[in-house]
Amino acid sequence: MSKHYIIGICLTNRVKNALELQKVLSDCACYIKTRLGLHEVSEDLCAPSGIVLLEIYGGKPAVDEIEAKLKKIAGLQVKKMLFDA
């Protein structure tokens, strides 16, 4: 049975947090199998908040490492999901 580890990140201030978040994602790039970023955008708006979903390769140790680094960044909410397939 394989496991799928997902980390969800909610940014409350993309402008303020984007550089720190990107540094963590770059440092941990070899663990990130899939990355999806979502935020509201229209002709009149580019939302200051957003959500990033990460599918993690490397099991629980990789998830724990990334989670610890992300939780050091003020203004982020970090959640984990595990799916057994």
Q: What is the pLDDT of residues 8-38, one digit of tens each?
A: 999 988 888 889 999 999 999 999 999 999 9
* Predicted pLDDT of residue 76: 94
**Helix 14-27 × helix 59-71 angle, to 10°:** 150
Which CATH number do you get for residue 38?
3.30.70.1150
Q: Is the pLDDT score of 1 beyond 80? A: no
pTM: 0.89
Task: Give the integer Cα–Cα distance in Å for 7 and 73.
Answer: 15
Number of domains in the chain: 1
* Predicted pLDDT of residue 9: 97
Q: Is the pLDDT score of 69 beyond 90? A: yes
Q: Is the pLDDT score of 73 beyond 80? A: yes
Range of the domain at 56: 3-84
